[in-house]
Amino acid sequence: MTTTTDYIPGDPALMLTVLRSASAGLGQQALKEKVLSLFCCDEDGTQIVLQDTPALCSRIEYASSQLKMAGLIHIAQDGTLSITPLGEAMLITYPLGIDAGVLCSLPAFRHRLYREHAPASRAIPNAAVNYGFSAGLGAHRLTENPYPADSREHEDWLMGWDEALDQDKREKETLLG
């Protein structure tokens, strides 16, 4: 068995461990112990024993912040994690792991990333996105877009409408599973 101080478990396993820890209501120390107990292997299949390093702690904090940003967990002032209803649904839907691609499928996560990392020259999407999202949730048809077809608002409304349909589809798939 190999011991290493620089190996870090992959994002899907780490995210899933944080999400499961939130479901169990664990604190930061218990979460770290759970991550340290993960069964990890290197590329050759040799088991690796994780070490408690600043890099590992940083990755745990990063995974926690990403899940919080996506609305899947809450982090209390004392560091205790709790899972949201959306987090429970994602835990059921993705039992093998959650990666950045899964998180990016969530509108709240995408919008937060966009707000924080969009180039300064690009304006934040206007209210038409939210209007389209509401229209999609309300089962309005695509042809009910109130904006001129050649406008930015028309495209933003379509984007919001499409996101609502994607979210509704994911929720229905979760209930069927």
Of all residues in the chain, the percent with pLDDT exceeding 90 is 7
Q: Please report the DSSP string for the chain in residue order.
A: -EE-SS----HHHHHHHHHHHHHTT--HHHHHHHHHT--EE-TTS-EEE----HHHHHHHHHHHHHHHHTTSEEE-TTS-EEE-HHHHHHHHH-TT---HHHHHTSHHHHHHHHHHHS-TTSPPP-HHHHHHHHHHHTT--GGG--S-TTSHHHHHHHHHHHHHHHHHHHHHHHHH-
pLDDT at 6: 46
Tell me: the pLDDT tens digits for 54-67? 888 888 888 898 89
User: What are the residue ranges of CATH 1.10.10.10 in the chain?
Assistant: 2-96
pLDDT digits (tens, 9 = 90+) for 122-148: 555 567 888 888 888 777 888 888 888
Q: Which fold has domain 2-96?
A: Arc Repressor Mutant, subunit A (1.10.10)
Maximum mean pLDDT: which of 13-22, 93-102, 107-116, 123-132: 13-22
